[in-house]
Amino acid sequence: MHKNIRLIALFNFFTDFHLYSAILIIYFAKVTGSYALGMSLFSVVMVSSALFEVPTGIFSDFVGRKKTMMLGAACSVLSISFYAIGTGYLILLIGALLEGLQRAWYSGNNDALLYETLSGTDRKDEYDHYLGKTSAMFQVAAAIAIILGGFIAQWSFSLVMWISVIPQVICFVISILIVDPPRSEKQSANIYSHLSIAIRKIWENRKLRLLSASSIIRFAVGESSYQFRGAFINTLWPLWAIGFSKVISSVGAAASYWYGGKLIRKIGAFRLLFIANIYSKIINISSVAIPTVASPVLMATTSVFFGANNVAQSKLMQNEFSDEQRATLGSVNSFLGNLVFGIFAIFLGLFADKLGPATALLIIYIVGLPTLFINWVLFKNNRNE
């Protein structure tokens, strides 16, 4: 089980070692001819992920975490290969569908794998600590890959994409080495009953409902705007410099993940969610409302809360999940988040084509304001937790 934690950290590192991270929207727009079509591919990723979320979550609960992780890694290799081929919209579309399937295999499953690994050694109370440490690897990898990718992109976008296939092959090898933790034998033999119980748990648990609503909106707004941010930064900075803003974000997020557990214990998970939300709203809205050369750097500073925020959200939700349906419950939440992302991404691309990148981002950030109220209600009702 201790080996699992080290392997999960390595797996996370290579999963996010994407050289194309900072310039993907530019690459998509270059191949397809518009921001709207480029953002539609991000939408396809999330909608296809949403469609597969629940089946893959149930698969994980019934068949095991290791096999689910292996399938996700295989899909990732194929997905980026199609992106690298990139001869037209249809080829990119196939890559986006496969990326969505990969995300679905990982969603719910990988957090459940870590939680059950710790639970098997009576250390589940340290979940937030280890989730922070292993998740920091995503951001460390992203920071390194973005720097390399930004320079390689000056010569060839295609080379950036093909090199990015290699880390995903490594992920597949690592997934083979993972040890499947013991699973609950209490699952219903009927998958429809299993799913209906999971949905009912979310509906009947007010705290879980509010946490889900907050995470769904935050993910849809945050992820769509983050994927599009490169287009906005390109209106202020040259192409070669775009990656540096994301490097700052990744370094900040890595530190935030690494110390997330300590921060949560010091100020409380619900208070942290509320403070992080306020800060990100103020910085993001002001940065795009009055765009300057400093805007990309200011927006990157929101990452100092990103990792700890995600750890707090996951810890609170895992505490409300049941062992029998841990991956399924996580997948139901991700399913809704991906659907909302799909809608936001399309509108973000359309707004950008008509109004420009800065105005498009401003509209999306304003739409995300209701999460402030949700986080306030959660904080007010759970101050002692």
* CA dist., res. 288 & res. 294, Å (int): 11
Report the predicted TM-score, pTM, of the whole model to 2 decimal places: 0.68
Q: 311: closest CA among 263, 370, 376?
A: 263
Query: How confident is the model at residue 190, as a pLDDT?
Result: 47
Domains (ranges, CATH) in the chain? 2-178+190-381 (1.20.1250.20)
Roughly how many angstroms between the first and final C-alpha of the chain, as a whole number? 29
* CA dist., res. 93 & res. 101, Å (int): 12
Query: How confident is the model at residue 183, as a pLDDT?
Result: 64
Question: pLDDT tens, 233-250?
Answer: 888 988 777 778 878 888
Query: How confident is the model at residue 197, as a pLDDT?
Result: 66
State the maximum Cα–Cα separation within the chain, in Å, rounded to a whole number.
58
Question: Is the distance from CB of 121 to CB of 199 less than 8 angstroms?
Answer: no
Query: How confident is the model at residue 364, as a pLDDT?
Result: 92
* CA dist., res. 29 & res. 295, Å (int): 23
Question: pLDDT tens, 308-338?
Answer: 888 888 888 877 776 665 666 666 777 788 7
Report residues of the chain scoring pLDDT below 70.
1, 122, 183-195, 197-199, 202, 322-331, 383-385
